[in-house]
Amino acid sequence: MNGIADFTDRKVLVAGASSGIGKKTALVLSRLGAKLILVARREDKLKETLELLEGDGHSYYLCDLSQPETIESLVKTVVSEQGKLDGLVYAAGVNTSMPLGQFKPEKVQQVFNINYFGFIEFVRQVCRRGRFNEGMRIVGVSSVASVRGDKSHLAYSGSKAAMNASIRCIAKEVADKGICINAVAPAMTKTEMYTQYVNEYGEDSGSNDDLLKRQYLGLAETDDIANAIAFLMSPAARFITGITLPVDGGLTTS
């Protein structure tokens, strides 16, 4: 992959780098030569990611993305300390189980703050003049939930569908700055979030088994998603923008 995806000295910020898909994406990109800027809330976990990265010149910053108004000062600080960015991967996200009968706007707002508003604000801030290098790539981590229906997932699915829809629009707005923006839509992937999902649906594990039958390549590993993100972040993906790429072991087509 190195010949196609050479990230030597490209500065990539990964939001949600303290675990799961974001952490693995940071590792994969570091192997390809990128300088990583890691962002999340848990410092101990970010330090663990940092120690696993290949190469040097990596850094980390703490930020609670449930408060999108803090993102502007974070991005200003990162750019002044690390220089202009070549890439943003937004892998931060939360899932929540909320049946229609328990709908509360403030609970939906919490999910949207991290999964959607945090993403849009991050994109807005990194796309400002003087903060990015020509050819910057942005990838948001969406979900197959954005195009599927599942009981109790109205907030999560809505937030991811909003991400896909906005990416289609933003892609056109940033094209003349030389920026490409896309999403990946993973299916069930072995991470902390998946463990939490299975624990919540313990009694209903039949439906999880059914889902896994349709996800006929099996449960995804974080590498499966990280490799797809690395491709979209690479110079090789120059002509791809505005899309949501399913990385789903066949789920959405079965």
Ligand X SMILES: NC(=O)c1ccc[n+]([C@@H]2O[C@H](COP(=O)([O-])OP(=O)(O)OC[C@H]3O[C@@H](n4cnc5c(N)ncnc54)[C@H](OP(=O)(O)O)[C@@H]3O)[C@@H](O)[C@H]2O)c1
Q: Locate the DSSP E strands across the chain.
A: 11-15, 35-40, 59-62, 85-90, 132-141, 180-186, 244-247
Q: Which is nearer to ligand X, 49 or 234 (CB)?
A: 49
Owner of token pair 């789920």? 251
Q: How far is the CB of 221 from ligand X (least distance, A)?
A: 11
Q: Which is nearer to ligand X, 45 or 84 (CB)?
A: 45
Q: How far is the CB of 48 from ligand X (least distance, A)?
A: 11
Q: Is 156 a catalytic residue?
A: yes
User: Given 156, 194, 201, 216, which residue is catalytic?
Assistant: 156
Residue 45 gets the label, from left (phi > 0), alpha (psi -120 to 50) or beta, of alpha
Which SS3 state, helix, strand or coil, does residue 182 take? strand
Q: Which is nearer to ligand X, 25 or 234 (CB)?
A: 25
Going by C-alpha positions, the residue among 190, 140, 134 that lies closest to residue 168 is 140
Q: How many CB atoms lie within 10 A of CB 128?
A: 13
CA of residue 36 relative to chain centroid, distance: 15
Q: How far is the CB of 134 from ligand X (least distance, A)?
A: 28
- Partner residues linked to 180 by β-bridges: 137
Q: Which is nearer to ligand X, 189 or 234 (CB)?
A: 189
Q: How far is the CB of 195 from ligand X (least distance, A)?
A: 9
The residues that touch ligand X, with contacts defined as CB under 6 A, are: 16, 18-22, 40-42, 45, 63-66, 91-95, 114, 141, 143, 186, 188-189, 191-194
Question: Looking at the annotation, which residues are catalytic?
Answer: 156
